[in-house]
Amino acid sequence: MRYAAASSLITSLLLHALPAGAHYLWIEPSASGLMLRFGEYQENLRESAATRLAEIPAPTAQQERAGSWADAALERRADGFAFGSTSSGATAVEAGVAVRDLTKNGLGIVKPMFYARYAELTAPQQVTLPLDLVPVADGRVRLTLNGKPLANAPLSLYSPRRAVTSSITDAAGEVAVATDEPGVYVLDAIHVEAKPGSFAGVAYEAVRHRATLTLRGASARADR
C-alpha cells in the first residue's frame, strides 16, 4: 500500500509538471559523433528541419576533451545539431525559445529553458547548468537548481527500450540510477521557477527549466 501511494504521488507530480506532447533536448551518440536532438526519446521522436526543429534557434554547447572543457561549435543538420566528435562529456543550453502559454496545464505563461548533458554514470561531473543532472558516485545522480540540490523532485528515466521509470529525489537531491541494458538512457527533470520577466518583448510569469542527462548502458560502456 505504501508503494502504491508513492507511485500515485509520483504520477500526480509528473502530470502537473509535464504537459502532454512536451518536447525537450537530449544528447546522444551517433555514427559521426554526438548529436543534440529535439523531440521525445521515449517516443522515438526526433524532430527534423521539416517538422519542429526550427523551434530550437541557437543552442550553445561545451564538450570535454582530454579532461578539460571547452566551447563546442554545433552544426545544424536536418535531424539535429552535431558536435562533430564523441567524448565522455558534453552539455548544451537553449535559452532562445519563445515564451509559451501553458495555462491549460496549470503553469501559466512561461519562458522555456532547455539543458542537456551527456556523461558516464561512473565519472562524476561538475554542476555547470542552471538546472543540472550530474553523476555523483555509486550509480547516483544529483539534481540541482542554481547549484543547490533539489529535494523531492520528480524524475523520469527512459530506457533503451523506451520504458519509463519514475522516481523522486531524496533530501540530497539524489536518486539511484540503474543502466543495466546496452544502449542509451535519458534522465529527464522539470522545474518551474516563479520568476516573472520578459523575453523578446513578451512578459512571462515563470521560468520552466527542463534538463536531461544521457547515460549509456553497462554493456555499451564495457564495449568501449
Task: Note whether 132 and 143 are within 8 A (CB).
Answer: yes
The pLDDT value recorded for residue 219 is 53
Mean pLDDT, range 137-153, rounded to an integer? 96
Amino acid 168: pLDDT: 97
Mean pLDDT within 159-164: 96
* Residue 98 and residue 202 in contact, taking contact as beta carbons nearer than 8 Å: yes
On whether the CB atoms of residues 133 and 189 are closer than 8 A, the answer is: yes
Query: Residue 15: pLDDT band by 50, 70, 90 thresholds?
Result: very low
State the pTM of this model. 0.88
172: left (phi over 0), alpha (psi -120 to 50) or beta: alpha
The answer to whether the beta carbons of residues 181 and 159 sit under 8 Å apart is yes
